[in-house]
Chains A and B, each alone.
Chain A
Amino acid sequence: MLEINNIIKQYAAHRALDNVSLNVEKGSIFGLLGPNGAGKTSLIRIITQITAPDSGEILFDGEPLQSKHISRIGYLPEERGLYKKMQIGDQLLYLGQLKGLTKEEAKRRIKHWFEKMEMQSWWNKKVEDLSKGMQQKVQFVATVLHQPDLLILDEPFSGFDPVNVDIIKKEILELQCSGTTIIFSTHRMESVEELCHHIALINKSKKILDGAVSTIKDSYRENKFKITYAGLQPIEAPEPLLFTIENHKTAAATSTISIRVGEGKTINQVLAYLLPLVEIQHLEEIIPSIHDIFIKEVTAINAN
Chain B
Amino acid sequence: MNTILLIINREYISRVKKKSFLLTTFLVPLLFIAMYAIIFYVALNNREPVTTIQVVDYSGFVADQLTNTDHLLFIKNTDDAENVKKQLEQGKGAEILLIIPADISTSQTVELYDTEKKGIGTFSAIENKLNDVLRSKALKDAGIDMSVLNSIKPNVTVRAKQLTVDGEKDSSVGATIGISFGLSILIYLSLFLYGNQVMRGIIEEKSNRIIEVIISSVKPFQLMMGKIIGIGLVGVTQFVLWIVLTVGLTAAASAFMINKTQHTELIVKQQNQTGTPQEDIQHTTDSSSKIQGIIESIKTIDYGYIMGSFLIYFIGGYLLYSALFAMVGSAVDSETETQQFMLPIIMPLLFTYMLSFSVLINNPHGSLAFWLSMIPFTSPIGMLVRIPFGVPFWQLALSVSLLIIGFLITTYVAARVYRVGILMYGKKASYKELVKWFKYKG
| Residues of chain A having any CB pair with chain B under 8 Å | 11-12, 45, 48-54, 67, 70-71, 73, 75, 77, 79-86, 94-95, 97-99, 103, 139, 142
Q: Interface readout for B76-104 with A: 1 if CB under 8 Å, 0 if not? A: 00000000000000000000000000000
Residue among B7, B213, B423 with max Cβ neighbours from chain A (10 Å): B213
Known: A79-B209, A98-B214. A54 touches B6 (CB 8 A): no
Known: A77-B209, A79-B209. A53 touches B442 (CB 8 A): yes
Contacts of B216 in A (CB 8 A): 48-50, 70, 73, 75, 77
Known: A95-B213, A98-B3, A98-B6. A54 touches B208 (CB 8 A): no
| Residues of chain B having any CB pair with chain A under 8 Å | 1, 3, 6-7, 10, 14, 204-205, 208-219, 423, 436, 440-442
A51, A71, A82: the one within 8 Å of B208 (CB): A82
8 shortest interchain CB distances as A-B pairs: A81-B209, A52-B442, A81-B210, A98-B217, A79-B209, A48-B216, A75-B216, A77-B212
Known: A48-B216, A54-B442, A67-B219. A97 touches B209 (CB 8 A): no
> A13 CA to B6 CA in the complex, in Å?
38
Contact A97 B6 (CB under 8 A): yes
Contact A98 B442 (CB under 8 A): no
9 A-B interface contacts by CB (under 8 A): A70-B216, A79-B212, A81-B210, A86-B14, A94-B10, A95-B213, A95-B217, A98-B217, A99-B217
Contact B423 A83 (CB under 8 A): no
> A71 CA to B218 CA in the complex, in Å?
10
> A71 CA to B210 CA in the complex, in Å?
17
> A79 CA to B213 CA in the complex, in Å?
9
Known: A52-B442, A54-B442, A95-B217. A12 touches B436 (CB 8 A): yes
> A286 CA to B441 CA in the complex, in Å?
49
Contact A94 B441 (CB under 8 A): no
Contacts of B1 in A (CB 8 A): 97, 103
A11 to chain B, nearest CB (A): 8
B405 to chain A, nearest CB (A): 28
Q: A45-B423, A75-B216 are in contact. List 12 more A-B contacts (CB 8 A).
A: A52-B441, A70-B216, A73-B216, A81-B210, A81-B213, A83-B208, A84-B208, A94-B10, A97-B6, A98-B3, A99-B217, A139-B213
> A97 CA to B204 CA in the complex, in Å?
21
Contacts of B14 in A (CB 8 A): 85-86
> A253 CA to B410 CA in the complex, in Å?
81
Q: Which residue on chain A has the smallest CB distance to residue B14?
A: A86
A124 to chain B, nearest CB (A): 14
Q: Which residue on chain A has the smallest CB distance to residue B210?
A: A81
Contacts of B217 in A (CB 8 A): 70-71, 95, 98-99
Known: A67-B219, A82-B208, A97-B1. A51 touches B213 (CB 8 A): no
Contacts of B6 in A (CB 8 A): 94, 97-98
A92 to chain B, nearest CB (A): 11
A11, A12, A81, A95: the one within 8 Å of B212 (CB): A81
Contact A98 B218 (CB under 8 A): yes
Contact A82 B3 (CB under 8 A): no
> A94 CA to B9 CA in the complex, in Å?
10
> A91 CA to B286 CA in the complex, in Å?
64
Contacts of B440 in A (CB 8 A): 11
B200 to chain A, nearest CB (A): 13
B424 to chain A, nearest CB (A): 10
Contacts of B214 in A (CB 8 A): 95, 98
Contact B219 A75 (CB under 8 A): no
Residue among A85, A86, A97 with max Cβ neighbours from chain B (10 Å): A97
Contacts of B218 in A (CB 8 A): 70, 98
Contacts of A53 in B (CB 8 A): 442
> A45 CA to B217 CA in the complex, in Å?
12
Q: Which residue on chain B has the smallest CB distance to residue A85?
A: B14
Contact A77 B213 (CB under 8 A): yes
A302 to chain B, nearest CB (A): 23
B212, B215, B436, B441: the one within 8 Å of A54 (CB): B441
> A17 CA to B31 CA in the complex, in Å?
60
> A94 CA to B6 CA in the complex, in Å?
8
> A85 CA to B210 CA in the complex, in Å?
12
> A94 CA to B3 CA in the complex, in Å?
10
> A88 CA to B204 CA in the complex, in Å?
17
A195 to chain B, nearest CB (A): 22
